[in-house]
Amino acid sequence: MELKAYIEDYDKIVCFTDGAQYDYKVYSDGVNVPVSCVSVSPYDCHEVRLLLGARLNPETPCFVLFSSQAVPAEPLGIYDKAEFIERYSYNGKLGVEISGEKTTFRLWSPFALAVKLNLYKNGQGGYNLLGKHMTRSEKGVWILTIDGNLDGAYYTYTVSHNGRADEEIVDPYAYSTGVNGRRGMVTDLFTDVTPDGWEKESEEYKKSHALKQYTDAVIWEVHVRDFSGKTNSRYPRTFKAFTESLKNASGESIGVDYLADLGVTHVHFLPVAEYATVDQTRLADNSYNAFNWGYDPMNYNSPMGAYSTNPYDGKVKVYELREAVASLHKRGMGVVFDVVYNHTYDFKAPLSKAVPNYYYRFDYRGNPTNGSGCGNETASERVMCRKFIIDSLLHWAKTYHADGFRFDLMGLHDVDTMQEIERALHVYDKSMLIYGEGWVGGATSLDGDKQCNKWNSARIKPMDGSAGGVAVFSDVMRDSVKGAVFSAYEGGYVNDRAYETVNLVKFSSMGGTSPNFNTWWVTPSASQVVNYVSAHDNLALWDKLSMTSGIKPTYERVAMNKMAGGIIFTSRGIPFMQAGEEMLRSKTFPTGGYDENSYKSPDVVNNIEWDLLVKGSARDDVRNYYKGLIAFRKAHPALRITDPEEIENATNFLPNMRYDVIAYTLVAEGESLFIVYNPLCDAKIPLPEGKWSLRVNGDRAGNDCLGVYEKEITVQPKSVWALVRV
């Protein structure tokens, strides 16, 4: 068993041994620190605690002598002690700052023994042009100012820590990087990385499209590479593809023009910060699978070079991502960035090397906890980890004019951190969308009552005047409508399990706000619920419908797809869809079968098949149906109300209906709507008194009148109907 020693406090060390008895001695900066007490845990003979008769100085080399074997004492529990927090919490600028003809570098590394700045001409290769030691400053910050504006230079830090070999690391705050993110780049964000009209574009978009409430949003989630991998783009699989007007083989508009026509309000990019598992030097190699979703983060503040036209130049990717955002803004759409602060790809990440053990959670034996399912989880509750996350978010908000953020495994972030994130982002922009996954990916050491999961996120209070607080995905809506994601062959309300799921669909249609359905989760506002039936994870909606209903004819599965979308867009909450859900997107292996976890599958599985969108086809029909649903939702504010009491008072489910059928009136915002969900067979539905204009049925959707009805309607199976009182 490996001998280990961890600094728990300035006068305490915990050792893990092989069970043998040792004569323990402790040294700090070469000076013996007396051991006043040695205690063996009554529960584990391998755990030994040393109480010291004097204080350690962890800023100097510290080690424990196990009889004759010296073991470095690494900081661990000390990071959570009040004295450490008071002494080393820093609220100033970190990273690189250019001021006139001076460039200043700052790295927070409180227990580093030495830090050296290295400068390079290029992002890879070449000689170190500097190699100069930095100075320890206040609060554990190392600082060095160089004469001259070093914009465009590449840099790293060499950090020395007790008991570890010197490591050359990338600045965790680096705004851009060289190829494969191995070196940071000094980047002046206000010069040649700024597209023409950049600030004006953002101002104009915000003036006309800023959200007043989250439920006004319609979100379309896409992977940058998927978007244009199978198009005639001049810049396939890159940010620049979002700047082009494109047509498919049939002459149909695709790409950004397609999105503007569809009516979505926000494009959600899967992670575009630098991630670890794609080799950017091999992008031109057609035999190399350059695909990954990007949930393997490495450099949090730098765009992914694989999505630029030149991954070797750190400025190109900053410029081209800004171009993509500007293009979407000009077409009236906001941009949401998917962020992955809950873990790093591995312990070689810059955060890990800059301050060993600090940014992560560990068990008492020094083993990393794994709430992410990826080998580690970050410690958002620690002051400087929280600061890093907020600084990073504000960097993306300001540098790339972000309109929202989606948090991966948000349950791994503590509630207090997410509350501070909400405040920081909404002080900057009150219309900023903030939402995430209200769960974890494995066993975590973060206490359950501190996790920002779907239950505890309700404790986050939106800032006055903001469009919302922190929203969570509704797995209740997802699984009740089309079947559980972890049971591939299990259907839901639209695919032949209507009787088992009808009440959960009712609950979901009310934005998850009603306590009347005996559910295990209720939310305080429909603005804190993201309604969806498919996302990048798990089976695409069309594949799920095919898995559960494959023996049914295509037209019936098309009806199920339309019905699922109809429920999402007529429910209270924030509607969200996976790119291509509205055109029967499938992720199919070349050898057959559906890929439910295509995070590193090749383009042939992940590409959006734009050429299959042909006028008059089933895909065209469903696309037009979703377009109509979006238009209908936008036209009727009653669908977007958020207050639980208002939703309760506005919603009246018709009694004495066939059990599987959901029919209700929605009276709010000066209008009366009548909504019907019919999953099985023809249903005769009595209409409330008055005349009702049909706007949505199983075939068509929009805000044009499809006929006026009184007294009764006959609703076809597997369809949503929506009528407006006239």
Which tokens belong to 363?
A: 């068990």
- The residues that are catalytic are 408, 437
How far apart CA 575 and CA 597 sit, in angstroms, is 23
Closest CA to 66 of 93, 91, 46: 46
Contact 452, 389 (CB under 8 A): no
Category of 703 on φ-ψ map: left (φ > 0), alpha (ψ -120 to 50) or beta: alpha
Contact 11, 51 (CB under 8 A): yes
- DSSP 8-class letter at 2: -
Contact 284, 311 (CB under 8 A): no
How far apart CA 243 and CA 406 sit, in angstroms, is 23
Q: Which residues pair with 709 in a beta bridge?
A: 692
Count CB-CB contacts under 10 A for residue 216.
19
Closest CA to 256 of 273, 231, 274: 231
Which amino acid, residue 319?
Answer: Y
By 3-state DSSP, what share of the chain in percent is helix, strand and coil, each rounded to 5? 30, 25, 45
Which tokens belong to 701?
A: 């959707």
- Give the rounded distance of the alpha carbon of 123 from its chain centre: 28
The angle at the Cα of 154, spanning 151 to 157, to the nearest 5 degrees, equals: 120
- To which residue do tokens 């995430």 refer? 436
Closest CA to 300 of 421, 393, 377, 429: 393
The angle at the Cα of 109, spanning 105 to 111, to the nearest 5 degrees, equals: 145
Closest CA to 697 of 582, 580, 577, 562: 562
User: 645: Cβ–Cβ under 8 A, 6 or more apart, which residues?
Assistant: none
Contact 386, 417 (CB under 8 A): yes
Contact 267, 328 (CB under 8 A): yes
Q: How many residues does the chain have?
A: 726
User: 310: Cβ–Cβ under 8 A, 6 or more apart, which residues?
Assistant: 316, 317
Q: At 154, is the secondary structure helix, strand, or coil?
A: strand
